[in-house]
């Protein structure tokens, strides 16, 4: 088993993500700066690194559970994640702008096999979360006509551990089958 790193005492909340390659991370960072310029002020998760959130796990025995998950993840086959264009979620009084994942099934299967999505699960990469209507309209006006398409090979899941409220740090990668 590849799990060599041990969890420190008190680190009981884990976040499982898919990390895109650096080129996509940089593109998302550029889009976030574009949003900041469009709305004229900072916004929630402005500096968050690009990723696809899968699920969180919280338990005092999280490390034991990680060993079980590692063996399940080792049975998954690598796949390509296709990203195409921008879209947004309407949360009523706020909106979230994101890059859309085109072929969702392989990612949804991971969540179904490992986590509890707590309802419908939609994979995406956040650009700007919880913008109020005015900020959303300003940002969307300047972003809506952007065309984007890229893909990357997903062959592992990255695990982050919670260090402080709203602060996650790298913990380990869990690899799929070779």
Instruction: Please check whether residue 32 lies inside any domain of the structure.
Output: yes
Q: How many domains does the chain have?
A: 1
Tokens representing residue 70 in the block: 């590692």
Instruction: Please check whether residue 173 lies inside any domain of the structure.
Output: no
Instruction: Please check whether residue 7 lies inside any domain of the structure.
Output: no
Q: Which residue has the tokens 């060993």?
A: 67
d(CA 129, CA 69): 29
d(CA 49, CA 25): 7
Instruction: Please check whether residue 145 lies inside any domain of the structure.
Output: yes
For residue 113, the model assigns a pLDDT of 87
Written as tens digits, the pLDDT of the chain (178 aa) is 444 444 444 547 899 999 999 999 999 999 999 999 999 999 988 999 999 999 988 877 777 788 888 889 999 999 999 999 999 999 999 999 999 999 999 999 999 888 765 678 899 999 999 999 999 999 999 999 999 999 999 999 999 998 877 789 999 999 998 7
Instruction: Please check whether residue 45 lies inside any domain of the structure.
Output: yes
CATH number at residue 130: 3.90.1140.10
For residue 28, the model assigns a pLDDT of 97
Instruction: Please check whether residue 62 lies inside any domain of the structure.
Output: no
d(CA 159, CA 151): 21
Distances (CA, A) of 7 to 34, 149, 153: 37, 37, 28
Question: Alpha-carbon Rg of the chain, whole angstroms?
Answer: 17
Q: Which residues of 124-150 are buried (b: 16+ CB within 10 A; e: fewer)?
A: bbbbbbbbeeebbebbbeebeeeeeee
- Domain span at residue 45 reads 17-57+80-158
User: What is the CB-side half-sphere exposure of residue 163 using CA atoms within 13 A?
Assistant: 7
Instruction: Please check whether residue 148 lies inside any domain of the structure.
Output: yes
d(CA 105, CA 82): 11
| Residue 30, C-beta contacts closer than 8 angstroms, at least 6 positions apart | none
What length does the chain have?
178
Instruction: Please check whether residue 96 lies inside any domain of the structure.
Output: yes
User: Does pTM surpass 0.85?
Assistant: yes
d(CA 50, CA 71): 26
């Amino acid at each position: 088993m590849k799990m060599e790193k041990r969890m420190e005492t008190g680190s009981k909340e884990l976040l499982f993500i898919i990390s895109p390659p650096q080129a996509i991370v940089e593109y998302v960072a550029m889009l976030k700066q574009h949003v900041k310029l469009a709305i004229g002020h900072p916004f929630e998760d402005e500096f968050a690194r690009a990723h696809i959130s899968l699920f969180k796990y919280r338990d005092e025995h999280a490390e034991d559970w990680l060993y079980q998950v590692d063996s399940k993840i080792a049975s998954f086959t690598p796949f390509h994640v296709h990203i195409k264009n921008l879209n947004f979620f309407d949360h009523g009084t706020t909106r979230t702008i994101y890059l859309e994942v085109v072929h969702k099934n392989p990612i949804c299967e991971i969540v179904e096999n490992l986590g509890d999505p707590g309802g419908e699960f939609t994979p995406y990469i956040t650009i700007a979360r919880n913008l109020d209507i005015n900020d959303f309209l300003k940002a969307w006006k300047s972003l809506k006509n952007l065309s984007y398409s890229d893909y990357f090979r997903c062959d592992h899941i990255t695990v982050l551990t919670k260090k402080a409220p709203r602060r996650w740090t790298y913990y380990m990668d869990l690899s799929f089958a070779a």
